[in-house]
Amino acid sequence: MLHVDLDQFIAAVEVLRNPELAGRPVIVGGRGDPTERAVVSTASYEARRFGVGSGMPLRIAARKIPDAVILPVDAPAYLAASDEVMTTLRAQPGAVVQVLGWDEAFVGVKTEDPEGYARRLQQAVLERTRLHCSIGIGDTLVRAKIATGFGKPRGVFRLTAENWREVMGDRPTKELWGVGSKVSKRLALLGIHTVAELAAAEPALLTGEFGPKMGLWYRQLGRGDGATVVDDTPWVPRGHSKETTFQADIVDPSEVERAARALLDQVLDEVATDDRPVVGLGLKVRYAPFVTKTFTKKIPATADRDAVIERALELVAKIEPGRPIRLLGVRAEMAMPGDAREGHTPTRSGW
């Protein structure tokens, strides 16, 4: 299994469109205006050296690199470039491709020379798209995904059961795909700090903290075990969501409802194209200065737009009156078709 990850994808697309940006710190986010509320979508390697990364407020990124080139997000351009890359991957001999996002995919292939195949794949992508990628080789999806990080940029790295302990054993658990800072802190409270310690942990200890499914899955993750099949079944979205950050906080209840309705209209337009009933709703509220609350509810399956809006406004009613809001987001969950790819993620295997 190969994991293909495009290097600094969004920034690289921008440099292709504007070659004079090559070698300069490039930051992409929002509408390209650091005086507005927005976050960094991506940063070139030159910008990352100054500590700028995805999710950072754009104004902070601009302070870190005053002479950076800051550009607005151009999603259609990135989607077009991504489509070219994925088409190239699918054209490779014997390749089974499972797309993970704009800039990454798993490729399953039978070959006696995975490194050679990976190098040829890199060359094919470069020749067709002028984009560079890094490739991880693994005997599970998890190992292939993690291996890519050791190959960046433009490299190839193999991570299998043979070298898993040597490469990953002494590393902190947060370096595992699927373990974030919150989970790693909970593991640390159990005395588990490294990948090797997680792999050797008593199952009862983990299930007591995380439950019977997730506890055993984290132990499996510590061993690098898991799914060994690349699944090219077309991905079907479970839901659609939209959010907006207000350039000035909003407080008035009528203004909040108008904003929520506008987001709902966009979401339900996308839901309508999938022709599946809505079965759940979510509302994300970020109060000033930066406190985020989420509300969710299941609803009887319905394709009635007015009924969905009515139930969604019940969530909007949960917003604290008089409290300034800087961000709103809404989400609609849909019923999944019977032939959709199973709901687990590539990391979580069959859990």
Active-site positions?
104
Q: How far apart are CA 302 and CA 308, in angstroms?
A: 7
Handedness of CA 156, 232, 274, 284 (dihedral sign): negative
What Cα–Cα distance (Å) separates residue 98 from each residue in 67, 86, 93, 114? 39, 9, 15, 17
Mind spelling out the 3-state secondary structure of 246-310?
Answer: EEEEECCHHHHHHHHHHHHHHHHHHHHHHCCCEEEEEEEEEECCCEEEEEEEEEEEECCHHHHHH
Burial label, 182 (beta-carbon count in 10 A; 0-12, 13-18, 19+)? exposed
SS3 66: coil
170, 29 contact by CB (below 8 A) = no
Sequence-separated (6 or more) residues with CB below 8 Å from residue 297: 280, 281, 311, 314, 315
280, 333 contact by CB (below 8 A) = yes
Q: How far apart are CA 236 and CA 270, in angstroms?
A: 13
